[in-house]
Amino acid sequence: MKHLRKLVVLTCDSLILIGVSVLLAWFSMRYDIPDAVSQGTFAKHLALLYVCTLAFQLLLRTYDSLWRYAESQEYLSLLLAAFLGFLSYEVLTRYVLRVNMISFLLLTAIAALWILGMLCIRFSYRVFRTRMQYRKGSHQVSAAIVGAGAAGVQLLEELRSNPDSRYSVQCFFDDDPSKHGKRIHGVPVKGGVGNIQSRIKSLNVQEILVAIPSVDEARRQEILRKLSSLNRVKVTVLPSSLDLLDRRPIRAQMRKVRIEDLLGREPVRLNPAPVDAFLGGRTVLVTGGGGSIGSELCRQIVKHGPKKLIVLDIYENNAYDIQQELLYQYGGRLDLSVEIASIRDRERLRQIFARYRPDVVFHAAAHKHVPLMENSPQEAVRNNVFGTLNLVQTADEFGVKKFIQISTDKAVNPTSVMGASKRLCEMILQSMKGRSATDFAAVRFGNVLGSNGSVVPLFKRQIEAGGPVTLTDKRIIRYFMTIPEAAQLVLQAGAMARQSELYVLDMGRPVKILDLAETLIRLSGYVPYQDIDIVETGLRPGEKLYEELLIASRDIEKTENNQIFVERQPAITPEELGAKLSILSAALEKNDPGVIRKALHQVVPTFHEPEELNRSQGSEVHIPAQQEEEPRSKVVAFRRQA
């Protein structure tokens, strides 16, 4: 097919040249144009002209081009080959053979018409091929492209040429006034982003494709927030940085708008130097390394050049996944070991620590699902509390330099077994102050978007199933952060960690879960409460209306990083901790959830029942106005309504 295609194009070019030459020669003789055609053999000179032009066409490989994908480079090569062919013919006939068969005027006319004919053939083929492919595709979704720049135009071309594309692009929107009212490949630019809401209904657009990869983050979020308010219009977006190394088609990089695109916060940008010094050349162990946070910690850690990375997890499937991912990406450059073990098994931990002698430990292994731990409090205590105790004691025994515990906002004034167990983990680290050469520290943050058990994946599944979207209470407010953001800040806090400190990450402003659900429904092209309903199911066991990042009675101190704060708390003595753990251990022996819950209330004074705390919030909880002079993670005050 390749050789046949070249032969067909070459034959068409030859017939065009012969036809144009004969027609113009006849025309010049018919109308007696002076010096147009001199005496001699016309066919021989026409053959010489053809050989000269063909030689340069073959030399510049114009017949190897796929003209349905041709750009300016291919057309310039075609013109250059034709020009050089005619020039060489003129030089040969006038200065080498010294004959003057065809006048310069006639030669110029032949060249112009022949080039025009070649271009028409190629353009006609390209248009025919594009239309045939377009008819083969479905192209049933009426779409608009936001961004009439290079990315938007490339996206339009790919959607039109791809037979599998389902989009029929109706218009562009772009904030550049010079493009308004113009057409790009026949598609009109209807106005700026501000005109979308007023014009989208008349255009019957079903989906908006956002192709503005170079716009700054603040403007990008502003545009996406505007689009998220549209009803029955799906929104897909081109990521802010294209994967140019893979040379993937731009259409393949389009994705659905994620809720993190609308968080309204600048992305975390950290100075890597302190983390490089902290982790470079060190042996690092990550417990729970196959989980959402643990696996992202592993991905971030390897970027800072550790001597060795050990992934420890009880769930072998997740551990295997992160192992294969890292080996595929780094291969022999990474010294990686994976250990399947439970943090409840002290002797197994001692065996692993003795073998690898880690310098740094990130402790992300925990039972974290609030309602599940309400039903199985003994498992939360055994794993979260006594598992952490095992790790802390083992790290102290084997001389670990730094031990970083991943904590949670649910440990602040906890209303759940999970939150109370994590608060006890913080107490265990506090009790080591002045008793160990290891620097023990905890890092506390809120909900992580996309993590296992996160509400966002649940909402997406419910929307895809046609609804309804369920949330426990329409008043609920939560802090959110992306997984990469959380992992980066944990590493940064670890680099600055000192003995028994508790670090709090700036989570930005809290988000109302109801607003989040409504936004996700709109971004999916539906209307909340009409196409997809939102249903309250009632607060789950242990759940409270809002989370806090700090214990209200304590002040926080700024660190050198404006997104990380340190909370100072009075140290807990080993004797106090021992008494608390003895109470818990005795409760565990009875294996009675009620007894264990009562014991947790006894050892964690800030542990309250959720009904008590939620009742104090009244019928409505409001997000407070942002106060720039105060750290955003400091105690949040909520206005109450009776």
The pLDDT tens digits of the residues spanning 359-375 come to 999 999 999 888 899 99
Pairing of strands 564-567, 501-505: antiparallel
Q: Which residue has the tokens 């594309």?
A: 165
Residue type at position 242: L
pLDDT at residue number 79: 80
Element (H, E) at 632: none
pLDDT in tens, 444-484: 877 776 666 567 778 888 988 888 999 888 887 777 777 78
The pLDDT assigned to 546 comes to 63
β-pairing verdict for 336-340 and 360-363: unpaired
Phi, psi of 191 (to 5 degrees): 145, -165
Say which amino acid occupies 439: D
* Contact in structure between 68 and 125 (CB atoms under 8 Å): yes
Answer whether 568's CB lies under 8 Å from 555's CB: yes
Amino acid (one-letter) located at 533:
D
CB 549 within 8 A of CB 632: no
Cβ distance 597 to 417 under 8 Å? yes
DSSP structure class, residue 69: G
pLDDT given for residue 628 in this prediction:
39
Q: Please, are residues 224 and 210 in contact by the beta-carbon 8 Å criterion? A: yes
CB of 277 closer than 8 Å to CB of 496: no
DSSP 630: S
- Cα–Cα distance between 597 and 591 in angstroms, integer? 11
The SS3 assignment for 320 reads: helix
Position 234 scores a pLDDT of 83
* DSSP 8-state class, residue 339: E
* Amino acid letter, residue 562: N
| Cβ-based neighbour number of residue 621 at 10 Å | 20
Which pLDDT value is given to residue 397? 96
Catalytic residue numbers, as ranges: 410
Evaluate whether the domain defined by 137-257 bears CATH number 3.40.50.720: yes
Q: Which residues of the chain have pLDDT under 50?
A: 36, 39, 137, 242-247, 550-553, 621-622, 624-642
Helices (H), 190-279: 196-203, 217-227, 272-279
Residue burial 216-246, b: 16+ Cβ < 10 Å; e: rest: eeeebbebbeebbebeebbbbbbeeebeeee
Joined together, the tokens standing for residue 505 give 């990450």
- 220 by DSSP, 3-state: which? helix
Helix axes 150-161, 104-136, angle to 10 degrees: 70
Which token pair is 501?
């400190």
**φ/ψ (deg, to 5) at 520:** -60, -40
Q: Rounded to an integer, what distance in angstroms lies between the CA atom of residue 258 and that of residue 239?
A: 11
The H-or-E segment that residue 286 falls in is: strand 283-287
CATH superfamily, domain at 272-447+480-507+548-615: NAD(P)-binding Rossmann-like Domain (3.40.50.720)
Retrieve residue 366's tokens. 């925990």
From the list 402, 395, 390, 406, the residue with the least C-alpha distance to 341 is 390
Sign of CA dihedral 107, 109, 112, 118: negative
Instruction: Give the pair of three-digit tokens for residue 194.
Output: 């501000």
Residue spans in the chain of domains classed CATH 3.40.50.720: 137-257, 272-447+480-507+548-615
Report the alpha-carbon distance of residue 177 to residue 252 in Å, rounded: 29
SS3 529: coil
> d(Cα 620, Cα 475) in Å, to the nearest integer?
6
**Phi/psi of residue 152, nearest 5 degrees:** -65, -40
> Which residue, 393, 390, 419, 391, is CA-closest to 407?
419
C-alpha dihedral, 445 to 392 to 345 to 335, nearest 10°: 80
Of 214, 44, 30, 17, the C-alpha closest to 121 is: 17
| Per-residue pLDDT tens digits for 496-535 | 877 777 877 766 667 788 888 888 888 787 888 888 999 9
DSSP code, position 262: G
Q: How many CB atoms lie within 10 A of CB 143?
A: 24
Q: How far apart are CA 58 and CA 48, in angstroms?
A: 15
Rg of the chain over Cα atoms, rounded to whole angstroms, equals: 35
Q: Residue ranges of the alpha helices (H) in 551-635? A: 574-590, 593-603, 610-615
Q: What is the pTM of this model?
A: 0.65
Please say whether the beta carbons of 311 and 286 come within 8 A: yes
